[in-house]
Chains A and B, each alone.
Chain A
Amino acid sequence: QVQLRESGPGLVKPSETLSLTCTVSGDSINTYYWSWIRQPPGKGLEWLGYVFNSGSANHNPSLKRRVSISIDTSLNQFSLYLTSVTAADTAVYYCARTNWNYYYFDYWGQGTLVTVSS
């Protein structure tokens, strides 16, 4: 059974960097792509980016280069970094396994709420 679990601070100050880690169990991170998606309270879903096992990543251009994603295959983890956060970055952040043939998200973490506030 594939499981993903997000971890990281639930509160980040404005202008600082949001950092989250997703730990994958039940599957090797060397297969598939691995994505981050977020959902502001009461709003819709926004894809942030995905990473491959090689470490190459693809990010949502709307985030203007504030986002980066890295992978640690030895720990079966991948991480999200979002710089210069504002209140608009307050959201539930999900990690998800991404099928590389059809680009769908088939396994998701339970999500973690990150609030940006001083």
Chain B
Amino acid sequence: EIVLTQSPGTLSLSPGERATLSCRASQSVSSSYLVWYQQKPGQAPRLLIYSASSRATGIPDRFSGSGSGTDFTLTISRLEPEDFAVYYCQHYDTSRLTFGGGTKVEIK
């Protein structure tokens, strides 16, 4: 079973700053199946990035994904007020889908 570990647990930043979120897999995984979501309180998650680096429809270009093997990164180039939320990574492998524990991006 692949385990996804997200770090840090909480990221305290100011609007306009750059956010770098990490998702580490317990073993090498296919980047084709690495996905990122954003979740705000009381809402369903929203798809941001799929296949490690492809932005979903309507996602602003300040969001970018990168990585391969065991280490993946979600970068928000300049935080907007609406970007403060919890972010999850997710992976698919051998008929099983797994989520990371999440990173909360909060206003400093």
Contact = CB atoms under 8 A, between A and B. Distances in A.
Interface in A90-116: 94, 96, 99, 102-106, 108-111
Contacts of B95: 58
B69 interface: no
Contact of B101 (A44, A96, A108): A44
Given A58-B95, A60-B96, A44 B88 contact: yes
Contacts of B101: 44
Contacts of A47: 90, 96-99
Contacts of A26: none
A87 interface: no
Given A47-B96, A47-B99, A105-B35, 12 more contacts: A35-B97, A45-B88, A45-B102, A50-B97, A94-B45, A102-B33, A102-B92, A104-B35, A104-B47, A105-B37, A109-B44, A111-B44
Contacts of A94: 44-45
Contacts of B56: 104, 106
A46 interface: yes
Interface of A: 35, 44-47, 50, 58, 60-61, 94, 96, 99, 102-106, 108-111
Contacts of A44: 88, 99-102
A99 B56 CA distance: 12
Interface of B: 32-33, 35, 37, 43-47, 50-51, 56, 88, 90, 92, 95-102
Contacts of A105: 35, 37, 45, 47, 90
- Most chain-A CB neighbours within 10 Å: which of B37, B46, B96? B96
Contacts of B33: 102-103
Given A45-B45, A94-B44, A102 B35 contact: yes
Contact of B50 (A35, A99, A108, A109): A99
11 contacts: A35-B97, A47-B96, A47-B97, A50-B97, A58-B95, A94-B44, A102-B50, A104-B50, A105-B35, A108-B44, A110-B44
A94 B35 CA distance: 17
